[in-house]
């Protein structure tokens, strides 16, 4: 996503450079008034509505200065509230769309971008190890899970929020036309190409004045001397997500050479765009009829025509007759295993942004996860994709048959998960696994549609069985739901991550308790002496774990209200980092819990539950302090202590504020541990029962 946004900003910059008259500063309040007046005159809808490309807004929304620690989620919620309130006060209704699928035709581009972001993540960790400080804005990465949690955050604020079942740009443009919306707020030049409503820039948006830049389709066409219907061809010639840029490189080179011969004095800014427009005009593509792009080879013409079809909204016609190259109606690959009622419910919940993961499993049999802040040089901490794979396998086992009645092979799920060492050349094939608590597969219809008390009990039991923590089901109703979610997640991670220490658990639990009682304004005053790369990865691990709680919860029929699983109720990255440094410096429990006796009591209760569950599974959590002062990392093979033994460490030097610093532009160590010689870097340990040992 980061690379896509960079491409969009680059394209917008080109539009400003080569055609500045197409970029018009507009007052959104005035636009809304004009929209209302036009609606009255035409007898249509008078509610000024903006369709918002949620994925393009993430950097605008996440304006928090601290970003490397796992996310400042209460502050982020406050930023979202301000964003929504600004439009509400202007009388503008917002409708949000988020990407819900990665179309297989764009998988190669998705992989390419993920691998590029991997390099950015590596640079972040190199900086952390060298400077022990948060990097500057040039290395800014969005916190993990931001897109997922933004959907739920907006719904909690009462906003209409949709998740796409095909390319989101298309659904946004189509929705805007069908509902006569005032405009599209985003940062993707595809919205200029679609013959839709006005396209407004989120990167140029100023909430204090409610102004932004409108990219005028009419003025762009006038400057390039093209028709609106020719803009899709222009986009394809220049290269987009459908037609890779290199595919048309020869044609662009020839067109550019011809253009330079015609216009030897033309400025270099934007000449590729003007050359492509000149090519379209010179070949009179508007009147060649069914000959199409005559100077182009047959294979290139097919690619162009397929891409042009992508930009045609329902009822719109291309320049010439194009064979029907629109993708076939999406086929549910798991249709033979599930009832129509389940499939329909999954689709509807997905579109309404009420679930996570199951639609992708049931319809496409494909699940993906983008980049996470994980250190590729740290061979001790297991990547989140591997840590949570057992829970995903059991989620798949609830959604899909593990032993089909017809004797066929059980269906598999293809996972495109980004983690260190995974080249993403092909998906990892994961098999659904049955729950261990009984031999009977829970009935999805009962989980999703059941109303009686037995259905409620089944939802609770099934959720805990996903994480193999059945004994905690008795805590449901006794403990606050968000704390219960933390208990589940921390216990699961403590069992799965061999080198999670007592200090790590203390940091997780103490921050989860403290964050409940702090406002976003209070959290802004959190201070840390330095940044620990290991704590950065542990923060991201926790947040990725929350997304798996969401997936399990929605699959099991929501035994928890979704709000209880949200990070703004359970996690603050900077607060966790401060607790991590305190815990690994040997500070007392009273210090971790800020001297509050009731917090200490709650902490000890949670800690006892976590350690008890680990002990029953033969997992003895050791005390293993890691840090002492900025730049010094304790050798993880030394200074082992018995669990609960005093550390004898002195307090660290006075801390300074790490949250302050450059506001990000609105634009996502220890020694190597020994292992069995037959195990590769990220082979699952034997207790995880990896069904696919050939996958790293």
The pLDDT tens digits of the residues spanning 233-249 come to: 888 888 777 777 777 88
User: Residue 388 half-sphere exposure, CB side, CA atoms within 13 Å?
Assistant: 26
What is the rounded CA–CA span in Å between residue 431 and residue 428? 10
CA-closest candidate to residue 420, choices 366, 382, 389? 382
Q: Is residue 643 part of a domain?
A: no
Do 158 and 296 lie in one domain? The reply is no
Q: What is the 3-state secondary structure (H, E, C) of 513-561?
A: HHHCCCCHHHHCCCCCCCCCHHHHHHHHHHHHHHHHHHHHHHHCCCCCC
**Same-domain status, 28 and 60:** yes
Task: State the Cα–Cα distance between residues 350 and 324, nearest whole angstrom.
Answer: 28
User: Within this chain, do residues 245 and 216 fall inside the same structural domain, yes or no?
Assistant: no
Give the pLDDT mean for 499-524: 98
Residues 220, 243: one domain? Answer: no
In Å, how far are 247, 506, 589 from 526, measured between CA atoms? 50, 18, 18
Q: Is 354 exposed, middle or buried (0-12, 13-18, 19+ CB in 10 A)?
A: middle
Residues 312 and 234 in one domain: yes
Instruction: For the beta carbon of residue 581, count every other beta carbon within 10 angstroms.
Output: 26
Q: How many domains is the chain built from?
A: 2
> Percentage of the chain with pLDDT > 90?
65
Tokens of 123: 């640079």
Average pLDDT over residues 466-471: 96
Token output for 196 = 């839709």
Residues in the chain: 696
Look at residue 582 and tell me if it is in a domain: no
For 606-619, the DSSP string reads HHHHHHHHHHHTT-
Residue 162 CA to residue 175 CA, distance in Å, equals 11
Tell whether 237 and 180 lie within a shared domain.
Answer: no
Same domain, 247 and 218: no
User: In this structure, is residue 349 part of a structural domain?
Assistant: no
Looking from the CA of 417 toward its CB, the CA atoms found within 13 Å total 22
Across all residues in the chain, what is the average pLDDT?
85
Residues 175 and 38 in one domain: yes
* pTM, to two decimals: 0.86
Q: Is residue 612 very low, low, confident or very high in pLDDT (cuts 50, 70, 90)? A: very high
- What's the pLDDT band for 494 if we cut at 50, 70, 90? very high
The CATH number of whichever domain residue 99 belongs to comes to: 3.40.50.1010
Confirm if 358 and 551 have CB atoms less than 8 A apart.
yes
CA-closest candidate to residue 87, choices 50, 132, 40, 35: 50
Report the range of poorest mean pLDDT among 46-60, 323-337, 674-688: 674-688
pLDDT for position 633? 44
Q: Strand pairing partners for 281?
A: none
In a domain, 554, yes or no: no
Identify the weakest region by mean pLDDT among 80-94, 184-198, 250-264: 250-264
Residues near 233 by beta carbon (within 8 Å), at least 6 away in sequence: 280, 285, 293, 304, 308, 319
Domain membership of residue 678 (yes or no) is: no
Model confidence at 352, in pLDDT bands (50, 70, 90)? very high
Q: Are 507 and 628 in contact (CB under 8 A)?
A: no
pLDDT at 403: 79
18 with 120, same domain: the answer is yes
* Ranges 27-31, 215-219, 595-599: which has the least confidence: 215-219
Residue 250 domain boundaries: 228-326
If pLDDT is split at 50, 70 and 90, which confidence band does 17 have? low
Tell me whether residue 356 is in a domain: no
- pLDDT tens-digit profile of 275-294? 989 988 887 654 544 454 55
pLDDT band at 694 (very low <50, low <70, confident <90, very high): very low
Do 182 and 137 lie in one domain? The reply is yes
Question: Which pLDDT value is given to residue 162?
Answer: 98
| Chain-centre distance for alpha carbon 638 | 38
Rounded to the nearest 5 degrees, what angle is found at the Cα of 98, between the Cα atoms of 232 and 366?
95
Cα torsion 395, 398, 401, 402: sign: positive
Q: Do 63 and 88 fall into the same domain?
A: yes
pLDDT at 649 over 50: no
Q: Are 33 and 70 in contact (CB under 8 A)?
A: no
Same domain for 153 and 30: yes
Q: Which of 34-43, 59-68, 120-129, 662-671 has the lowest average pLDDT?
A: 662-671
Bridge-based pairing of strands 211-215 and 93-98 is: unpaired
Q: Is residue 46 part of a domain?
A: yes
pLDDT at 220: 93
Helix (H, G, I), strand (E, B) or coil at 254: helix
pLDDT (average), residues 401-408: 75
- Residue 211: DSSP 8-state: E
202, 224, 246 - which closes a domain: 224
Lowest mean pLDDT among 43-47, 103-107, 127-131, 383-387: 43-47
Which pLDDT belongs to residue 44?
A: 58
Kindly state whether residue 186 falls inside one of the protein's structural domains: yes
**Could you report the per-residue pLDDT of 573-592, keeping only the tens digit for each?**
999 999 999 999 999 999 99
Instruction: Look at residues 326, 352, 370 and tell me which one is the last residue of a structural domain.
Output: 326
| Residue finishing a domain among 177, 195, 224 | 224
Q: Do 69 and 542 meet the contact criterion of CB atoms below 8 Å apart?
A: no
């Amino acid at each position: 996503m980061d690379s896509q946004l960079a491409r969009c900003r680059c394209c917008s910059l080109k539009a400003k450079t080569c055609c500045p008259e197409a970029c018009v500063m507009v007052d959104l309040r005035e636009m809304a008034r004009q929209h209302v007046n036009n609606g009255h005159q035409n007898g249509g809808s008078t509610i000024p509505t903006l369709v918002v490309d949620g994925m393009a807004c993430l950097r605008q929304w996440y304006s928090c200065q601290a970003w490397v620690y796992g996310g400042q989620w209460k502050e982020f919620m406050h930023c979202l509230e301000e964003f929504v309130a600004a439009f509400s006060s202007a009388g503008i209704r917002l409708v949000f769309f988020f990407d819900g699928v990665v179309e297989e035709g764009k998988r190669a581009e998705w992989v390419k971008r993920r691998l590029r972001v991997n390099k950015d993540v590596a640079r972040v960790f190199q900086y952390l190890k060298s400077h022990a400080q948060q990097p500057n804005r040039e290395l800014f990465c969005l916190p993990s899970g931001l897109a997922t949690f933004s959907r739920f955050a907006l719904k909690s604020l009462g906003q209409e929020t949709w998740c796409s079942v095909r390319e989101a740009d298309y659904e946004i443009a189509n929705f805007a036309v069908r509902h006569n919306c005032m405009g599209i707020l985003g940062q993707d030049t595809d919205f200029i190409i679609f013959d839709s409503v006005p396209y407004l820039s989120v990167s140029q948006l100023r909430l204090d004045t409610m102004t932004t830049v409108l990219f005028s389709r009419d003025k762009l066409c006038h400057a390039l001397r093209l028709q609106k219907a020719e803009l899709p061809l222009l986009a394809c010639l220049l290269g987009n997500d459908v037609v890779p840029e290199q595919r048309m490189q020869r044609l662009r080179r020839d067109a550019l050479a011809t253009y330079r011969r015609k216009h030897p004095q033309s400025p270099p800014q934007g000449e590729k765009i003007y050359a492509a427009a000149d090519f379209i005009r010179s070949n009179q593509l508007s009147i060649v009829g069914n000959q199409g792009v005559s100077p182009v080879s047959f294979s290139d013409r097919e690619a162009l025509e397929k891409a042009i079809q992508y930009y045609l909204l329902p009822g719109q016609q291309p320049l010439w007759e194009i064979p029907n190259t629109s993708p076939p109606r999406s086929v549910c690959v798991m249709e033979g295993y599930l009832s129509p009622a389940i499939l329909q419910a999954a689709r509807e919940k997905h579109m309404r942004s009420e679930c996570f993961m199951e639609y992708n499993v049931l319809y496409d049999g494909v699940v993906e996860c983008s980049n996470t802040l994980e250190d590729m040089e740290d061979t001790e901490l297991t990547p989140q994709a591997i840590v949570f794979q057992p829970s995903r396998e059991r989620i798949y086992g609830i959604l899909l048959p593990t032993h089909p009645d017809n004797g066929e092979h059980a269906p598999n799920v293809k996972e495109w998960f980004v983690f260190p060492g995974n080249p993403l050349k092909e998906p990892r094939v994961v098999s659904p696994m049955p729950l261990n608590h009984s031999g009977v597969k829970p009935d999805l219809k009962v989980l999703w549609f059941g109303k009686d008390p037995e259905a409620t009990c089944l939802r609770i039991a099934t959720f805990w069985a996903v994480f193999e923590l059945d004994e905690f089901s008795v805590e449901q109703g006794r403990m606050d739901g968000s704390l219960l979610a933390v208990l589940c997640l921390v216990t699961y991670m403590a069992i799965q991550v061999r080198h999670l220490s007592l200090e790590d658990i203390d940091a997780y639990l103490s921050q989860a308790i403290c964050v409940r009682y702090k406002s976003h304004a209070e959290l802004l005053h959190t201070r840390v002496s330095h940044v620990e790369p290991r704590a950065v990865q542990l923060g991201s691990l926790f947040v990725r774990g929350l997304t798996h709680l969401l997936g399990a919860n929605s699959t099991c029929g929501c035994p928890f209200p979704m709000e209880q699983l949200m990070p703004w109720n359970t996690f603050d990255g900077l607060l966790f980092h401060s607790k991590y440094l305190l815990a690994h410096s040997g500070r007392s429990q009273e210090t971790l819990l800020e001297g509050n006796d009731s917090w200490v009591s709650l902490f000890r209760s949670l800690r006892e539950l976590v350690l008890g569950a680990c002990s029953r599974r033969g997992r003895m959590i050791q005390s293993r302090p890691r840090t002492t002062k900025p730049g010094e990392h304790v050798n993880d093979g030394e200074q082992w202590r018995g669990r609960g033994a005093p550390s004898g460490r002195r307090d660290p030097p006075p801390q300074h504020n790490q949250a302050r610093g450059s506001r990000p532009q609105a634009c996502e160590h220890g020694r190597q541990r020994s292992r069995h010689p037959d195990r590769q870097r990220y082979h699952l340990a034997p207790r995880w029962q990896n069904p696919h040992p050939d996958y790293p």
